[in-house]
């Protein structure tokens, strides 16, 4: 019996194979082209989003902070210190680390002590990008006796040395003596514009008051007189006091160069609502203290020395005007005749107060003093303790 051959079981001819490969190549090439286009589109969209986020973050930080200039600044302390094309410096009671401080803009219990009050004359700093040194004097809070609560905040642009570009800048923020922290990178100067422009009040004789942009030739403006509002703080020296707004200009990039570079420019005007306003706050007469503080040396279980401080409520906390917001404490070595700046402050609101001073040295003798402070903020007279010697 003979088997029949299956005439349909044959392979592909060379021509058919070549046609199949050509068709397959066209399909695969089209797919790769589509994926490449999609990838470039996704990267383009990602770059645009990065630029927008970087730009908005930098602009929002500038606006949020600059508009606080002048908040809770004592009358003798200037609200605006330096107004330059690439740096702006101002004073503001921006943050406090005292829980019941009602006057600062923000509360941060972890804020360093050196970043929540004003610079003193002994802590003078040079404004970045300038040779201008500030302050020329120390400023006290309204009512006297304590350092001003308004710290110095500085924003400045500096070239970014970490990139190959020569037109790339970093925006920094500096508070008092702290090192400048980076706010944003990949920023360029917008062609034809300065990083900072300013608007000031003009009051010509026999004409309406108006606001105009400070001419570039008038910049920088600086508060060259130590005491704001003094007889010397007039004419040219007082020009910076008339500034009422800051305009921020910059261009954000995606950090790339050539055909892959993307840019987005922004200009934002920031009003200074506290500019020109005097701090006139009063809670009545200065608070009455009427109590004494005790200072007792102790030795802890670890063998370390300490001094226990204790005091009751002041007269004006428990009765009278009832306006005591905190207690201010000073400490000095027995060999030092001056009290200097306050050592610490304790919020009011307790029936009795205690504090254990651990930062003492065995063998040293100290004096302590206490005063009550109200919301003005005005201080009562100091009530010193007897000398206490650390064991």
- The per-residue pLDDT for range 40-57, each reduced to its tens digit, is 655 555 667 788 888 999
Asked whether the whole model's pTM tops 0.75, one would answer no
Going by C-alpha positions, the residue among 374, 391, 390, 388 that lies closest to residue 142 is: 374
The partner residues of 355 in beta bridges, in order of sequence, read 309
- Measured CA to CA, the distance from residue 330 to residue 366 in angstroms comes to 10
Phi-psi region of 320 (alpha: psi -120 to 50; beta: other; left: phi over 0): left
The partner residues of 88 in beta bridges, in order of sequence, read 83, 155
Q: Which helix (H) or strand (E) holds 148?
A: none
- Measured CA to CA, the distance from residue 235 to residue 224 in angstroms comes to 12
Please spell the DSSP secondary structure of 306-341, one letter per residue.
EEEEEEE--HHHHSTT--EEEEEEEEEETT-----S
Query: What residues have CB less than 8 Å from 26, skipping those under 6 apart?
Result: none
Q: Rounded to whole angstroms, what are the CA distances from 143 to 148, 279, 316, 375?
A: 10, 11, 16, 10
Question: Is the sign of the CA dihedral 110, 115, 116, 120 positive or negative?
Answer: positive
- Measured CA to CA, the distance from residue 277 to residue 281 in angstroms comes to 12
Cα angle value 183/201/249 (rounded, 5°): 30
Domain assignments of the chain as residue spans, ordered by start = 50-271, 294-389
138 C-beta neighbours (distance < 10 Å), count: 16
Q: Is the pLDDT of residue 361 over 90?
A: yes
Whole-number average pLDDT of the chain: 87
Domain 294-389 CATH superfamily: Immunoglobulins (2.60.40.10)
* Main-chain dihedrals φ then ψ at residue 20, nearest 5 degrees: -60, -45
Higher-pLDDT residue of 219, 42: 219
Tokens of 209: 């008051």
Q: Is the peptide bond before 220 cis (omega within 30 degrees of 0)?
A: yes
Contact (CB, 8 A) for 58 and 250: yes
Query: Helices in the chain by DSSP H: which ranges?
Result: 14-66, 315-318
- The per-residue pLDDT for range 147-173, each reduced to its tens digit, is 899 999 999 999 999 988 889 999 999
SS3 373: strand
71 C-beta neighbours (distance < 10 Å), count: 21
- The per-residue pLDDT for range 268-324, each reduced to its tens digit, is 999 999 887 666 555 778 889 999 999 999 999 999 999 999 999 999 998 888 888
Q: Which is it for strands 106-107 and 95-96: parallel, antiparallel or unpaired?
A: parallel
């Amino acid at each position: 019996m003979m088997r029949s051959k299956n005439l349909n079981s044959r392979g592909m001819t060379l021509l058919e194979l070549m046609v199949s490969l050509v068709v397959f190549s066209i399909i695969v090439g089209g797919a790769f082209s589509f994926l490449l286009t999609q990838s470039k589109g996704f990267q383009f969209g990602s770059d645009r989003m990065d630029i927008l986020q970087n730009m908005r973050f930098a602009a929002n930080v500038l606006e949020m902070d600059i508009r606080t200039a002048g908040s809770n600044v004592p009358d003798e302390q200037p609200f605006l210190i330096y107004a330059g094309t690439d740096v702006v410096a101002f004073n503001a009671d921006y943050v406090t680390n005292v829980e019941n401080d009602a006057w600062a803009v923000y509360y941060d219990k972890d804020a360093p002590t050196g970043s929540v009050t004003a610079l003193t004359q002994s802590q003078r700093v040079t404004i970045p990008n300038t040779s201008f040194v500030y302050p020329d004097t120390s400023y006290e809070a309204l009512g006297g006796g304590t350092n001003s609560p308004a710290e110095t905040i500085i924003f400045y642009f500096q070239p970014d040395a970490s990139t190959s570009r020569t037109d790339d800048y970093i925006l920094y923020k500096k508070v008092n003596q702290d090192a400048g922290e980076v706010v944003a990178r990949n920023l360029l100067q917008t062609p034809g514009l300065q990083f900072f422009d300013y608007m000031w009040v003009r009051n010509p004789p026999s004409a309406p008051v108006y606001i105009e942009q400070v001419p570039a030739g008038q910049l920088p403006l600086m508060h060259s007189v130590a005491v704001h509002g003094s007889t010397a703080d007039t004419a040219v020296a007082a020009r910076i006091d008339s500034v009422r707004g800051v305009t921020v200009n910059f261009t954000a990039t995606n950090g790339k160069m050539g055909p892959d570079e993307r840019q987005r420019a922004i200009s934002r005007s920031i009003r200074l609502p506290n500019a020109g306003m005097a701090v006139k706050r009063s809670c009545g007469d200065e608070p009455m203290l009427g109590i004494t503080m005790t200072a007792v040396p102790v030795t802890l279980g670890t063998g370390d020395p300490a001094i226990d401080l204790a005091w009751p409520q002041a007269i004006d906390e428990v009765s009278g005007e009832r306006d005591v917001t905190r207690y201010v404490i000073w400490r000095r070595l027995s060999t030092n005749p001056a009290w200097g700046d306050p050592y610490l402050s304790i919020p009011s609101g307790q029936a009795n107060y205690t504090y254990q001073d651990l930062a003492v040295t065995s063998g040293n003798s100290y004096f302590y003093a206490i005063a009550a402070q109200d919301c003005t903020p005005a201080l009562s007279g100091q009530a010193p303790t007897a000398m206490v010697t650390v064991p």
